[in-house]
Amino acid sequence: MLDWTDRFCRYFLRLISGRAVLYTEMVTTSALLHGDREYLLRFDPLEHPVALQLGGSDPGELAQSARFGEQWGYDEINLNLGCPSDRVQSGRFGACLMAEPKLVAECIQAMIDSVEVPVTVKQRIGIDHLDSYQQLCDFIGILSSAGCATFIIHARKAWLSGLSPKENREIPPLDYATVYRLKREFAHLEIIINGGITTPTACAKHLTQVDGVMIGREAYHNPWMLVETEARLYGGAQLTSNREQVIQRLVPFVRRELARGVPLNRITRHILGLYHGQPGARLWRRYLSEHSGKNGATAELLLAAAEQLIK
């Protein structure tokens, strides 16, 4: 979700969901140690609970980055072991680290020793030819021995050569049964499933087998499914009852960010899916896209876009 789940996206999603744990886009240790730390770590208190996802392979750098995350108030530190892109591999982080379980264990141990908040991992079920069930169990066993108790598992292995990141989201097929089996055999661990989950019904089904569900691209393109999922899983009153309420609550935040010099379209690009599947969805997207980049565009543009759907 690199370049997707920035703080503007997360604030918007929190207005929709009161229960979901929100994750940052992956932040590399080198960026945190040598870049603009405030820009990379700043978030609004409304986002809680929110997890900082890190990319890196040096135990010391990851420990320091985890400390930065805890100091800034993040509720969880997550190590990315699932991203298959060439750029990530060249930096020796992401999915390629699944070939180095002892190094990953050292990283996990260093992070756990450095912070009080939970340290978790997000991984694949395998990479390339390291894809047997026994290798997967061995990997999880080594990391759990280092202290990791929560594993977010994308139920698809990654091919690190020959496939693009997009293709790695579609090839090979998802294997939910393997994640279910892991939960049965590692009952003491928290196992969260990820990959291709798009409906409240699917979420409910997975939760009969595992401890949690992570939703990625579907929540971005169709954010209202979070409302529907919470209603399905928990019942009762939800955080918000309609899309117009979300827009009204978002406007003051947008005003504050515009006053700080943030371009309006940096925020509106994340809310294009609010009316996904609803009458007027295309009009909503077009109005925001056409007007949010214009000079002098204000937060009231969101209200004007919503009014277009009512006419």
| Position 226 in a domain | no
Q: Which of 6, 3, 70, 66 is nearest to 32 (CA)?
A: 66
Q: Are residues 190 and 271 in the same domain?
A: no
| Position 172 in a domain | yes
- The pLDDT tens digits for 181-228 are 999 999 999 999 999 999 999 999 999 999 999 999 999 999 999 999
Q: Are residues 177 and 133 in the same domain?
A: yes
Q: Are residues 55 and 109 in the same domain?
A: yes
| Beta-carbon-side half-sphere exposure of residue 227 (alpha carbons within 13 Å) | 19
Q: Provide the 10 A C-beta neighbour count for residue 265.
A: 16
| Position 233 in a domain | no
For 188, residues 6+ apart whose C-beta sits below 8 A from its C-beta are 149
Q: Does residue 163 carry a pLDDT above 70?
A: no
Query: What is residue 84's predicted lDDT score, i.e. its pLDDT?
Result: 85
Q: Are residues 172 and 259 in the same domain?
A: no
| Position 128 in a domain | yes
Q: Are residues 131 and 256 in the same domain?
A: no
Paired residues of 229 in beta bridges: none
Q: Are residues 250 and 209 in the same domain?
A: no
Overall residue count recorded for the chain in this entry: 311
Q: Are residues 123 and 180 in the same domain?
A: yes
Query: What is residue 276's predicted lDDT score, i.e. its pLDDT?
Result: 96
Q: Give helix then strand counts, H and E, for the chain.
A: 15, 8
Q: Are residues 61 and 175 in the same domain?
A: yes
**Among 171, 195, 214, residue at a domain's last position:** 214
| Position 132 in a domain | yes
The structural domain count of the chain equals 2
Residue 69: both structure tokens together: 């995350």
Paired residues of 79 in beta bridges: 54, 121
Residue 100 is part of which domain span?
Answer: 21-214
| Position 1 in a domain | no
| Position 13 in a domain | no
- The pLDDT tens digits for 10-64 are 999 999 999 999 999 999 999 999 999 999 999 999 999 999 999 999 999 999 9
What does the DSSP 8-state code read for residue 130?
A: B
* 252: CATH: 1.20.120.1460
Strands 76-81 and 27-28: unpaired
Query: What is residue 89's predicted lDDT score, i.e. its pLDDT?
Result: 57
Q: Worst-scoring range by mean pLDDT, 35-44, 70-79, 155-164, 186-195? A: 155-164
Q: Are residues 248 and 100 in the same domain?
A: no
- The pLDDT tens digits for 165-177 are 667 666 689 999 9
| Position 144 in a domain | yes
* 172: CATH: 3.20.20.70
Q: Are residues 62 and 176 in the same domain?
A: yes
CA–CA distance, 102 with 80 (Å, rounded to integer) = 16
Query: What is residue 23's predicted lDDT score, i.e. its pLDDT?
Result: 98
- The pLDDT tens digits for 254-289 are 999 999 999 999 999 999 999 999 999 999 999 999
Query: What is residue 222's predicted lDDT score, i.e. its pLDDT?
Result: 98
> Which residue among 83, 96, 107, 203 is the active-site one?
83
Q: Are residues 76 and 125 in the same domain?
A: yes
Q: For a pLDDT cut of 90, what percent of the chain falls above it?
A: 86
Residue 285: both structure tokens together: 């997207």
Q: Are residues 133 and 48 in the same domain?
A: yes
To the query of whether residue 83 is one of the catalytic residues in this protein, the response is yes
